[in-house]
Amino acid sequence: MKTITLKTDDTFFEHVTQLAKNLHLTKSELIRRSIKAYENHIKKEQLKEQIKQAALNVRQSNASISQEFSITDNDGLENV
């Protein structure tokens, strides 16, 4: 395995140490899991944004189609 060196203040170090101890993990494992969880969070946020954009595109397309149909709704029915 490769090694990453992390510089931190005493408060953060103690927080990580205590959290790792409470979870019965090494600090390295806690940090690995934390980074993986953060990566998953970022991916979910990106996916939500893509879905939101796709929904907006569909909404705009549907509005355009609806407008086209509304123009032709009464086509030829003026004298009826």
Q: What residue type is 55 in one-letter code?
A: A
What pLDDT is recorded for position 67? 74
Domain of 26, in residue numbers:
10-72
Number of structural domains the chain divides into: 1
What pLDDT is recorded for position 73? 64
At residue 48, does pLDDT exceed 70?
yes
The gap from C-alpha 64 to its chain's centroid, in whole angstroms, comes to 29
Q: Can you tell me which residue has the tokens 């149909």?
A: 69
Cβ–Cβ under 8 Å, residues 33 and 25:
yes
Reduced to 3 states (helix: H, G, I; strand: E, B; else coil), residue 25 is coil
What pLDDT is recorded for position 61? 82
Residue 44 lies in a domain: yes
What's the token pair of residue 67?
């407008």
pTM of the model: 0.68
Residue 22 lies in a domain: yes
At residue 79, does pLDDT exceed 90?
no
Confidence of residue 75 (pLDDT cuts 50, 70, 90): low
